[in-house]
Amino acid sequence: MIKKRYILNFPPDSGDKAFSYHLVKDYDIRINILKAEVYPGKRGSLLLELYGKKDNIENGVEYLKKNHIKCEPLDKQILLNDEKCIDCGNCTAVCFAGSLTMNKESWKLEFDKDKCVVCELCIPACPLSLFEINFN
């Protein structure tokens, strides 16, 4: 089993189709919606985490592409230079995914990379510019 993240961009005419249902039912893929922007009748985009067998994920992504959904693997991650971090907590205020939190006992910043959705809001929030994007 593998876990992969994709950014999906939907065309305006795709709103009446149950794509996530087919990924789950037909391709045995667990999906986790990490971020969504939907503009009915116009366009939409999703940041999805797909979990399943490698072949199933590949076949599911191919199904989406055949239905004119643009699928881009999320090949970037946020890096934190935690050695220079002063634990001010500014980044925690903008992290809606909950990947950046303050430890309530030590008052040290904790960064859970698995929860990060790479929204990039932490980058301008850090007064010391300690966050950067890493493209794999």
For residues 47 and 52, which has the higher predicted lDDT (pLDDT)?
A: 52
Residue 16 CB contacts under 8 Å (≥ 6 apart), including other chains? none
The pLDDT of residue 124 is 96
Name which CATH class applies to 76-135: alpha beta
State which CATH number among 3.40.50.800, 3.30.1490.190, 3.30.70.260, 3.40.640.10 fits the domain covering 2-73: 3.30.70.260
The pLDDT of residue 35 is 82
Q: What is the mean pLDDT of the chain?
A: 90
pLDDT (tens digit, 9 = 90+) per residue, 16-33? 778 889 999 999 999 998
The pLDDT of residue 15 is 64
pLDDT above 70 (res 136): no
Q: Both tokens of residue 99?
A: 């990947």
pLDDT above 70 (res 50): yes
pLDDT above 90 (res 11): no
User: What is the b/e burial string over 15-50, where b = at least 16 CB atoms within 10 angstroms of the residue's CB?
Assistant: eeeebeeebeeebebebeebeeeeeeeeebbbbbbb
- Give domain limits for the chain: 2-73, 76-135
The pLDDT of residue 75 is 77
The model's pTM is 0.65
pLDDT above 80 (res 122): yes
The pLDDT of residue 37 is 82
pLDDT (tens digit, 9 = 90+) per residue, 63-112? 999 999 999 888 778 999 999 999 999 999 999 989 999 999 999 999 99
Q: How many CB atoms lie within 10 A of CB 108?
A: 12
